[in-house]
Structure 1
Amino acid sequence: MAVFVLDRRGKPLMPCSEKRARLLLTRGRARVHRVVPLQNPQISGVAYQQGTLAGYEVREYLLEQWGRRCAYCTGDGVPLEIDHITPRSRGGSDRVTNLTLACHPCNQAKGNRSAAEFGHPEIEAKAKQSLGDAAAVNSTRWSLLNALTATGLAVETGTGGRTKWNRTRLGVPKTHALDAACVGVVEGVTGWVAPVLSIRCTGRGAYQRTRVTQDGFPRGYLMRHKQVRGFQTGDLVRATVPSGKKAGIHMGRVAVRATGRFNIQTPQGVVQGIGYRHCCVIQRGDGYGYAQLGATALPSPAIRSRPEGRGFSRRNG
């Protein structure tokens, strides 16, 4: 696996093998820029950006989706607010597909009505349209299959039902990485009990420095500055504590505190109250949380072997 390398001055070098990269680091001819994902080839992301979008991502998505203008009056250059197409009191939700952008006067005039009741049924129709990304993936998949078939090479396709049957028959856990190993005709999967790197979107913090209740009243205040003693929440740090109850080496994602005593999220759990003097930055936060998880074998369920096509969905997977 090729590794991107920077010299001591931060100048990019030619990609090289992992062994050569380690030799350059040992000899002081290269420096560590990112610890993750500098990893074993067997480690792969299994939970990349799962869950709901962060607040800033929702706003960026809505700005692009609705052309950076009010959806009701097409006003340009006015402050915009997030509006529910169907109000929550009427059964709406906070899903991004139920949100739009509105200026303050339109938001107030709309009140407790849906977009259709407010005289804009096209807003609801646009929100219900299928995602263009999914269509692009489907088109790319078939184009890729046709291009590979035209080469005359042996090309095999599989179904989602076959993949699930292989995974259940072989007792393999349900992950993105292991699903790829169970596609098509598979006699067995070995060597899959390996650590995996979980990558989850955590964001880079929030601009709002005041925590409020559901009624809008302040309930707490955050620091005016995100950095404390040169550290920021989300940085990957190594803490070497020489003595005391927390003596040892702790490495993980840090959460800063104004007092200078930080919390570190390690694979074994959260270690609280670590002084900043014991911490050293390994990698600056990039908006993602990294955790190396150990793979656990699942017992193989007893099922009866059946040929493909009987009892399976014919969905392409």
Structure 2
Amino acid sequence: MAVLVLDKRKKPLMPCSEKRARLLLERGRARVHRMVPFTIRLVDRLQEDSTLQPVRLKLDPGSKTTGMALVREQESVDEDTGEIQRKAIVLMLLELQHRGYAIRDALTQRRAFRRRRRGNLRYRPARFDNRAKPEGRLAPSLQHRVDTTMAWVQRLLRWAPVSALSTMLHRFDTQALQNPEISGIEYQRGELFGYEVREYLLEKWGRKCAYCDAQNTPLTIDHIHPRSAGGSDRVSNLTLACFPCNQRKSNRDVREFLAHDPKRLTRIEASRKAPLKDTAAVNSTRWALWRQLVATGLDVEVGTGGRTKWNRSRLQIPKEHCLDAACVGHVDGLEHWQQPVLGIKATGRGSYQRTRLTKHGFPRGYLTRSKSAFGFQTGDMVKAVVTKGKKVGTYLGRVAIRASGSFNIQTGNGLVQHIHYRFCKLVQRGDGYGYHWSLLHPALNHGIAEAGRN
């Protein structure tokens, strides 16, 4: 994984390798600027004295997780066709986990408590609901997705010499074609049409067989109501089936095929008419995010989910949020993508709530007003080296403080409780995010083989 580099005036330079960063630190030519993501600052170089290469930041916005990929681009001309070939060399992979659903649940609970207090327990005069909302306003849970994504875009713009951006604007676009001259019925039958429909069905049906729930197996597209009986090719009449189930169903209607399993039949009929899960959140925020990306003044490339799936399948890349980001837009080759992923979880900076609440919404005890204890705050990244007791070992992660001095540390392997503050050493102050490293794919070779089939 590349190390981010700044010059002596904190302007971004080209990222370097871990070995080179270690040598610069040992020779006294650099200082540690930030631990996660690891960033060094040179003490003897300016940006004007360095050569910068094209670096692009790619985004795959999602409802729960947004994938990011920092890549270095190399362009070459194909000798046979004369077309420009764009190869991306991955420098850093990141996955940002949003807390939009936590915000939504907290606001829903607060609204219910307030409604009970004002409506059932004490009289409050009626108030006209005439407060106008500004045009284009997003709900707090949706605005959070845009804000956190843009916050990390701005951070990476400060730490890396990013010259262009790429984002997936349309999740599914059945009109995406490589030949814009096609018209008529062929307009919806371009090279990417099958990838758009298949990716939509994989997301909607959870990447498993609708008839037997088989996973990690090649899936085929099946007509719920067969075409021989008047069924259409609309996506509402399509589902996923493993090869044995597809053969057993043949051209029978789904009611006849699942006559022995009425519960599954009811679930399939309800699922095929329901909209894709999390689509509303993504569709509501995609244009707001795109406008803010354009406001940065950089060149913004947009792509679709079908093209991303097409690139990933063609290059035999496993399915991951960060790798989806790396495959957004025009990509002819992808290198150095087998590297650890930096997981970033939006945790917030604490709560304004000063009390716990009962199930009826009334105060139950008071919380301490001091957010620090023994020089630590909840959210700080610490390294604890425990030398005695039952918790002997080394732990690195996000700390949750207590006034008693017995802390909890959230590591990449789980929660470690009751670590005394004397064993803790501050690594990085809390910034509202939790960090952890993870391997790209548990079974990488198997994932590459399955990439083309799924």
| TM-score, normalised relative to structure 1 | 0.58
- Offset from partner CA, 1:271-302 (integer Å, 9 cap, x none): 11111111110111111111112111335255
Measure the CA separation in 2 of the matches of 1:217 and 1:246.
38
Could you tell me how far 1:266 is from its partner in structure 2?
Answer: 0.9
Could you tell me how far 1:53 is from its partner in structure 2?
Answer: 8.1
Measure the CA separation in 2 of the matches of 1:128 and 1:292.
32
**Letter of the structure 2 residue corresponding to residue 133 of structure 1:** A
Q: Is the 8 A contact 1:260 1:275 kept in 2?
A: yes
Match of 2:92 in 1: 43
Q: Is the 8 A contact 2:407 2:421 kept in 1?
A: yes
Measure the CA separation in 1 of the matches of 2:371 and 2:99.
25
- Offset from partner CA, 1:199-228 (integer Å, 9 cap, x none): 222121123221113422223432231111
Match of 2:5 in 1: 3
Counterpart of 2:318 (choices 162, 166, 172) is: 172
Q: Which runs of 5+ in 2 are unaligned?
A: 40-69, 71-89, 117-123, 140-283
Measure the CA separation in 2 of the matches of 1:182 and 1:15.
24
Match of 1:259 in 2: 404
Measure the CA separation in 2 of the matches of 1:287 and 1:128.
21
Measure the CA separation in 1 of the matches of 2:296 and 2:428.
36
Measure the CA separation in 2 of the matches of 1:142 and 1:27.
38
Match of 1:240 in 2: 385
Q: Percent identity?
A: 44
Match of 1:68 in 2: none
- Offset from partner CA, 1:220-242 (integer Å, 9 cap, x none): 43223111111111111111111
Q: Is the 8 A contact 1:202 1:287 kept in 2?
A: yes
Match of 2:291 in 1: 136
Measure the CA separation in 2 of the matches of 1:240 and 1:164.
44
SS of equivalent residue, structure 1 residue 274: strand
Distance 1:230 1:53, change over 3 A: farther
Measure the CA separation in 2 of the matches of 1:2 and 1:135.
26
Q: Is the 8 A contact 2:383 2:424 kept in 1?
A: yes
Residues 1:120 and 2:130 aligned together? yes
Measure the CA separation in 2 of the matches of 1:43 and 1:269.
24
Distance 1:5 1:232, change over 3 A: farther
Measure the CA separation in 1 of the matches of 2:321 and 2:361.
40
- Offset from partner CA, 1:136-176 (integer Å, 9 cap, x none): 2586799947xxxxxxxxxx975431212333452521314
Q: Which runs of 5+ in 1 are unaligned?
A: 7-11, 60-81, 90-106, 111-117, 146-155, 305-317
Distance 1:175 1:230, change over 3 A: same
Match of 2:265 in 1: none
Alignment of 1:295-306 (within 5 A): 295-296=440-441, 297=444, 298=447, 299-300=449-450, 303=453
| Pairs aligned (count) | 237
Could you tell me how far 1:44 is from its partner in structure 2?
Answer: 2.6
Match of 1:34 in 2: 34
SS of equivalent residue, structure 1 residue 238: strand
Alignment of 1:275-294 (within 5 A): 275-294=420-439
- Offset from partner CA, 1:60-98 (integer Å, 9 cap, x none): xxxxxxxxxxxxxxxxxxxxxx989xx999xxxxxxxxx
Could you tell me how far 1:184 is from its partner in structure 2?
Answer: 3.6
Residues 1:249 and 2:251 aligned together? no
SS of equivalent residue, structure 1 residue 216: coil
Q: Is the 8 A contact 2:406 2:421 kept in 1?
A: yes
Alignment of 1:51-200 (within 5 A): 51-52=99-100, 109-110=126-127, 118=128, 120=130, 122-123=132-133, 127=137, 133-134=288-289, 136=291, 144=299, 159-168=304-313, 170-181=316-327, 183-184=329-330, 186=332, 189=334, 191-200=336-345
Distance 1:134 1:217, change over 3 A: same
Considering only aligned residues, what root-mean-square deviation do their CA atoms show, in Å? 4.4
Distance 1:120 1:181, change over 3 A: same
Measure the CA separation in 1 of the matches of 2:22 and 2:309.
39
Distance 1:249 1:301, change over 3 A: closer
Q: Is the 8 A contact 1:261 1:275 kept in 2?
A: yes
Q: Is the 8 A contact 2:311 2:327 kept in 1?
A: no
Measure the CA separation in 1 of the matches of 2:308 and 2:394.
42
